[in-house]
């Protein structure tokens, strides 16, 4: 589509800023063609996912361009990782308001370039358009899994152990900080939590290693309880989480000591971008070893069971009522 209002033409924009991001991908043809080709492999399947980020909905208008770029890519890499796929390439659709001019785009591209190196992916195409509306970014990411091995939500088994990577609730508490809360928390803890909200760390190393180990998996973006609810619903099962087993960062633990009621935000808040998965009990030692080898914390937080819905129990055996669609009180 021809550009109408940009000072820099769409053609120049692609040649100057996007083509360098596609240099490593032979099939992207330097972004000088209508489409890109990608190499297929006999023993692998492509896994494809897409996420749209809208200014004012998924990020704030004055968030740095570099951070917006990296978040747009990373939320997709997190989806691929949760499916056991190794990320390879991505497409970028940019819908730009006139306020986002060349310096903004240069910063945005710098963010993408950093993450391409960090995660080993290449831009292979996309589209660019102008809009009178808010900045809108869509990324479509492509990854590969061994044929037939993509991890799905629906194959949890009754009695499976439930695991989660990293720590839960940091991003939700980071948002509390950004809204002016938790102001008695130390500066280092505050900035740790805000950082976890601003820039997800997709579990790209862990994900592909869960193939052959996990029965069901997904990434935690809507909140631990709601997302486990999705595994329950698609697998036709229920789940029980032990609240004390849910891994909490030191910063989040400090925040919770001050404000115990924030446990609800931790368990339901979202934006964690950790991997939630279930596995049979026979995999326990393999999972322990994997955590050590990869240096990725993996915590067992509960168990699948017949029935429906997610129950959260405390050490004293009492249930915790959590107001979220994925949760049911027993
Ligand atoms: P069309 O007219 O078919 O929409 P374009 O001129 O938009 O083609 O695109 C030309 C080339 O530039 C294509 O290879 C396309 O994938 C690439 N491209 C356009 N916009 C972007 C973008 N935002 N990011 C990456 N590649 C892009
Ligand atoms: Mg186009």
CA of 92 to the centre of ligand 1 (A): 9
**Does the C-beta of 72 come closer than 6 Å to ligand 1?**
no
**Does the C-beta of 2 come closer than 6 Å to ligand 1?**
no
Under 8 Å between Cβ of 51 and 75: yes
Task: Give 135's contacts (C-beta < 8 A, 6+ positions apart).
Answer: 54, 55, 68, 95, 96, 97, 100
Q: pLDDT per position in the chain (330 positions), as tens? A: 444 444 688 899 999 999 999 999 999 999 999 999 999 999 999 999 999 999 999 988 889 999 999 999 999 999 999 999 999 999 999 999 999 989 999 999 999 999 999 999 999 999 999 999 999 999 999 999 999 999 999 999 999 999 999 999 999 999 999 999 999 999 999 999 999 999 999 999 999 999 999 999 999 999 999 999 999 999 999 999 999 999 999 999 999 999 999 999 999 999 999 999 999 999 999 999 999 999 999 999 999 999 999 999 987 777 765 644 444 433
Phi, psi of 152, deg, nearest 5: -120, 170
- Which ligand sits closest to the CA of 92? 1
Q: What's the rounded Cα separation, in Å, for the pair 295 and 63?
A: 31
User: Which pair of structure tokens corresponds to residue 134?
Assistant: 């808010």
**How would you label 136-174 residue by residue, b for 16+ Cβ within 10 Å and e otherwise?**
bbbbbbbbbbbeebbbbbeebeeebbbbbbbbbbbbbbb
DSSP code at position 18: I
Candidate from 14, 22, 38, 138 with most ligand 1 atoms within 8 A of CB, to mutate? 14
**Does the C-beta of 49 come closer than 6 Å to ligand 1?**
no
User: Which pair of structure tokens corresponds to residue 248?
Assistant: 């909490």
DSSP 206-240: HHHHTTTT-SEEEE-SS-HHHHHHHHHHHHT-EEE
């Amino acid at each position: 589509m021809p550009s109408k209002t940009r000072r820099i033409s769409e053609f120049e924009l692609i040649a100057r800023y996007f083509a360098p991001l596609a240099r490593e991908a032979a099939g992207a043809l330097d972004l000088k063609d209508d489409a890109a080709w990608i190499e297929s492999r006999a023993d692998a399947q492509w896994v494809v996912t897409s996420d749209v980020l809208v200014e004012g909905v998924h990020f704030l208008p004055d968030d740095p361009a570099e951070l917006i770029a990296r978040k747009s890519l990373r939320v997709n890499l997190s989806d691929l990782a949760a499916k056991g796929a190794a990320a390879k390439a991505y497409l970028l659709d940019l819908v730009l308001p006139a306020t986002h001019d060349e310096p903004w785009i240069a910063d945005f591209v710098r963010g993408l370039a950093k993450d391409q190196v960090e995660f080993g992916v290449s831009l292979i195409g996309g589209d660019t358009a102008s809009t009178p509306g808010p900045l809108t970014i869509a990324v479509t990411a492509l990854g590969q899994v061994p044929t037939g091995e993509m991890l799905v939500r629906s194959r949890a088994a009754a009695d499976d152990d439930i695991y989660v990577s990293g720590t839960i609730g940091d991003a939700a508490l980071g948002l509390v900080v950004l809204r002016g809360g938790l102001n008695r928390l130390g500066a280092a803890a505050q900035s740790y939590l805000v950082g976890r909200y601003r820039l997800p760390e997709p579990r790209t190393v862990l994900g592909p290693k869960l193939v052959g180990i996990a029965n069901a998996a997904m990434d935690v973006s809507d909140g631990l309880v709601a997302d486990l609810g999705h595994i329950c619903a698609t697998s036709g099962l229920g789940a029980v989480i032990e609240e004390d087993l849910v891994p909490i960062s030191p910063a989040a633990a400090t925040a919770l000591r001050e404000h115990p009621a924030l446990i609800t935000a931790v368990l339901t808040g979202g934006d964690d971008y950790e991997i939630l998965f279930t596995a049979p009990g026979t995999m326990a030692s393999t999972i322990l070893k994997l955590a050590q080898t990869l240096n990725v914390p993996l915590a067992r937080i509960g168990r699948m069971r017949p029935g429906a819905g997610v129950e959260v129990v405390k050490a004293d055996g009492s249930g915790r009522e959590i107001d979220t669609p994925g949760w049911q009180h027993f």
